[in-house]
Amino acid sequence: MRNSTYHRLENLYKKCKGYISTRELLDEGFSNRQIAVLAEEKYLEKVCYGYYWLLQCGRKKPADYKCIEASLSNPRAVIAMESACFYQGMLKEEPPFLAVATERADRSAMKMNFPVKRHYFSNPKFQVGMQEVQTEFGSYHMYDVERSFCDMARLGGKQKEDRLAAEVLKALKANEKQYGRVLRYAEMFRLKL
């Protein structure tokens, strides 16, 4: 490739914060072939369909990069259950997969560079407990800790998931206000605690 291509890429590093869409790259004058070559040469990392991370921009990926990348892949996805508890500081150990929730009718593909465990929730209760998290790299949706705990207790069943739910419940019981919210969610989801 020509040196001018690499100079344009360096100018992009100054403008962008790390993530860039294929559309933005095309608007900057890069061809699809050049984008593919830049990915092969490790200047770009494809994070999901239509989005790249600028590898040599001088920035590290944020701690919650999985959440941001899942949101880039599917903006309607919500970080849920174990993952939501981990990113909100209720669990010490990161789960081996990113748990996301989508509406039952949402069948869009989520091909990521890390394991994703997808849960399909019905529409009436899908938005209950959802909050938007804003970062300098992008925003994503996440369920609050109380809703995430109830989903873990409701949909869990494996010993490890039960242990994680018990760990979260212990932390929630220490805060009376949060525990009251857990009880309201449990009643809404017909969950016996």
Looking at the structure, do residues 89 and 148 belong to the same domain, yes or no? yes
Looking at the structure, do residues 50 and 71 belong to the same domain, yes or no? no
Q: What is the pLDDT of residue 180?
A: 77
Looking at the structure, do residues 145 and 174 belong to the same domain, yes or no? yes
Q: What is the pLDDT of residue 159?
A: 53
59 within domain boundaries: no
Q: What is the pLDDT of residue 69?
A: 95
193 within domain boundaries: no
Structural domain span for residue 19: 3-54
Q: Which of 40, 110, 116 is nearest to 75 (CA)?
A: 110
Residue range 69-109, pLDDT digits in tens: 999 999 999 999 999 999 998 888 899 999 999 999 888 88
Q: What is the pLDDT of residue 1?
A: 61
User: pTM of this prediction?
Assistant: 0.84
106 within domain boundaries: yes
Q: Which residues of the chain have pLDDT under 50?
A: none
Number of domains making up the chain = 2
60 within domain boundaries: no
Looking at the structure, do residues 81 and 27 belong to the same domain, yes or no? no
Could you tell me which residues are beta bridge partners of residue 139? 134
70 within domain boundaries: yes
d(CA 28, CA 155): 46
32 within domain boundaries: yes
126 within domain boundaries: yes
Looking at the structure, do residues 85 and 180 belong to the same domain, yes or no? yes
Looking at the structure, do residues 40 and 10 belong to the same domain, yes or no? yes
Looking at the structure, do residues 112 and 156 belong to the same domain, yes or no? yes
Looking at the structure, do residues 47 and 103 belong to the same domain, yes or no? no
